[in-house]
Amino acid sequence: MKLQTNRYGKARVRVFKKIKKDGVHVPKELEVKTLLEGDFSDSYTKDDNKKIIATDSIKNTTNFVAYNQLDTETEPFAIALCEHYLKKYSHVTSVNVETLERVWERQIVDGKPSGTNFVGAGKGTPWTRTVATRDSIETTSGVRELVVLKTSGSAWEDFLRDELATLPDTNDRLLATSLTASWVYQKAPASYATANANIIQAMLEAFSTRFSPSAQSSQYHMGEAALNVCPEISQISLTMPNLHYLVIDMAPFNIKNDKELFVPTDAPQGWIEATVAR
C-alpha cells in the first residue's frame, strides 16, 4: 500500500481584531482554515511525528500573524500567513488558507456613525482562498449566500418540452437566489476591499437592471459585468440555486390570487453554475 496524498491543518480558528484608526474602531472577524502539504508522510506510515507542525501551533500561528499583520483587508493577511509557513519550514511545499468573514456595520447613534457600536450585516459572507507554493501564489475572493430577489422582470418559457415536462411557461415570475461567487485575481488590485465591493455591485446591477429570460442568462451577464468592472480578475464562478416562490391557490376561498401571495420554498431547487472567463 502507498500513501497517495495527504494534507492537514487547523480549521475554524476564529479571530477578532479591534483595529483602531484615529480614535475610531474597525472590527475585523474571521474564521480561518489553514491546510499544509509537504514532507509529512512519515507521520502517516512510520509513526514518526518529527516533521509535523502541531495543529495547535497552526492555531497559534494564525493568531500571531493576525496580531501583527491583519488589517481591514483579508487577502494580504492570508498571503502573509501562507508566506510564513513557506519561509519558516523547508519541508512545507504548499499552503492553503481559507477565510470566512463576519461583517459588522457601524450603527448610527444620535444621527451620526458611532465609533464603537456595530450591528451584524446580512449581505452575504465574504470569503477568500489563498494557495501558495514556492513558485506561485493564487488569491481567490468571493461572497457566499448573498440573497437577491426580483419581483418583476423575470421569465421562464420556451424551454425543452418532452413527455415529462409539466411546468407551464411564464413571462412574469419571481426570481430569487442565494448567490455564491468567487473570482480569481491575476494580479493584486490597488485595494482588495474596493475591488471586491465593485465586483459585487456590478453583479447586483446586472441582476437588477437586465430582463431575465432565465437564471442562466442572468448568471452569465452578472459574471460578464464583474469581469468588465475589475481588470485584475481572470475569471469568476457563480452558483445560483433557485429560491422558489410558488403562487398559492386561493380559489377555494373565492379569491383570485393575481400573483400577489406566494409560498416560499427552497426544496427541491434548481441549481445553476457557471464560470465566466476572459
Q: What pLDDT digit, counting tens, does each position of 122-146 carry?
A: 889 999 999 999 999 999 999 999 9
- Structure pTM? 0.90
Does 120 share its domain with 152?
A: no
Domain boundary among 135, 168, 188: 135
83 part of a folded domain: yes
Does 71 share its domain with 167?
A: no
Q: What total number of domains does the chain contain?
A: 2
Does 195 share its domain with 250?
A: yes
Does 152 share its domain with 230?
A: yes
Does 114 share its domain with 184?
A: no
Does 149 share its domain with 127?
A: no
55 part of a folded domain: yes
Confidence of residue 71 (pLDDT cuts 50, 70, 90): very high
Give me the percent of the chain exceeding a pLDDT of 90: 88
Q: Is 244 in the active site?
A: yes
Domain boundary among 98, 115, 135: 135
Confidence of residue 259 (pLDDT cuts 50, 70, 90): confident
Domain boundary among 135, 157, 183: 135
Cell of 219: 448568471
Rounded to an integer, what distance in angstroms lies between the CA atom of residue 42 and that of residue 58? 19
Residue range(s) defining the domain that contains residue 70: 8-135
Does 198 share its domain with 240?
A: yes
3 part of a folded domain: no
Which stretches of the chain are assigned E, i.e. beta strand?
Answer: 8-21, 24-38, 92-102, 104-109, 112-120, 125-133, 137-150, 175-185, 233-241, 244-247, 262-265, 271-277
Does 150 share its domain with 117?
A: no
20 part of a folded domain: yes
Amino acid in the structure at residue 46 = K
140 part of a folded domain: no
Does 155 share its domain with 263?
A: yes
Residue 117 pLDDT > 90: no
Q: Report cis status (omega within 30 of 0) of the bond before 168.
A: no
Residue 60 pLDDT > 90: yes
Q: Residue 51: how many CB atoms within 10 A of its CB?
A: 14
What mean pLDDT comes out for the span 51-74?
96
The predicted pLDDT at position 123 comes to 84
Rounded to an integer, what distance in angstroms lies between the CA atom of residue 240 and that of residue 176? 9
Q: Catalytic residue among 51, 55, 133, 239, which? A: 55
Does 167 share its domain with 90?
A: no
Cβ atoms of 233 and 184 within 8 Å: the answer is yes
15 part of a folded domain: yes
Rounded to an integer, what distance in angstroms lies between the CA atom of residue 197 and that of residue 200? 5
45 part of a folded domain: yes
Q: Is 55 in the active site?
A: yes
Q: Catalytic residue among 10, 28, 59, 84, which? A: 10
Does 122 share its domain with 163?
A: no
214 compared with 260, residue with greater pLDDT? 214
Q: For residue 271, what is the domain's CATH number?
A: 3.10.270.10
Residue 116 pLDDT > 90: no
Q: Is 10 in the active site?
A: yes
Does 176 share its domain with 82?
A: no
